[in-house]
Structure 1
């Protein structure tokens, strides 16, 4: 499951110039990717337990802090990203028993821990990911990995380019419509294009 997650992230990291680092961090179950502008650390958690997620967060943060410190001592200012991968399909995860007021019984509030860690901006950005399906299948990790901004950049640019190309194609012979689009809100853009190409097309999928 660790290799599957690493392989999937690596396929997204390479297009943005992030390469696997030769590091002793693997001894702590941590994998690093580096570039001139960023360091990404991955820690895989075998079980969906809040206490393990918290301890892995601390370990990954320590390794990432050390690596960022090394970069800064060389006068390189880089961004840091910590990815915590839970090797369990969270769509099938069942929270601990709730009391009559829907409060989690005990301390293992995994979903609450995920929200807390992802909202914490100390040192670096944190992303919690998990597979959709078999954790040993690299493709099962894609859905969450594509939500990580630094890794999804090429795909976002591609989508934006496709949208721009479609709009230009629709409007190239209509200068009036182009001027209207330039000053329109998103809802107004949809209405304008629907009136231009007909209601049968789902224009919202373009934008």
Structure 2
């Protein structure tokens, strides 16, 4: 089975980066899920990541319109601060238009950042996941929304899932020490528990 990287991930802080993305106005949001560089290589491409996201209940923005602001991250890979690759939203079981519903009533969403610079080329996908309020509340993160969003995504991913004739087997491992727990500098002043979940996603044969 082809694997893109030789390691699961590199700690961004070791290369001068951060596990916090720039949310603007001096605030940050945590990258609280990592899709391992030891996952099947097809999962670590943009097309493959979107297909896996659909298998676990997420799709692209409503009508392809970027509703949230772009945010950037420095993954310590030598590329400096780079904008998110894509933002995906909970689709409520409808990959065609379900994210329009999420935009109205709120739900889970995440931004993907790829660790691919020559200084730390793991190929891992770093995800900033959070549960957000409905549009009437300006899509603010709900209380405890970083931990809730991570936990819901992980629960949907672990085990066997499939989409568009591709079957995935996913395992999870919780990691401490990458993120500092608490609300210091975190957007909306919402504390998070400091746990990062590492997902290893393997495309099943047959």
Q: Quick check: TM above 0.5? A: no
The structure in which a higher percent of residues are strand is: 2
- Structure 1 or 2, whichever has the larger Rg, is 1
Which TM-score applies when normalising by structure 2?
A: 0.29
Larger RCO, structure (CA 8 Å, separation 6 or more): 2
The structure in which a higher percent of residues are helix is: 1
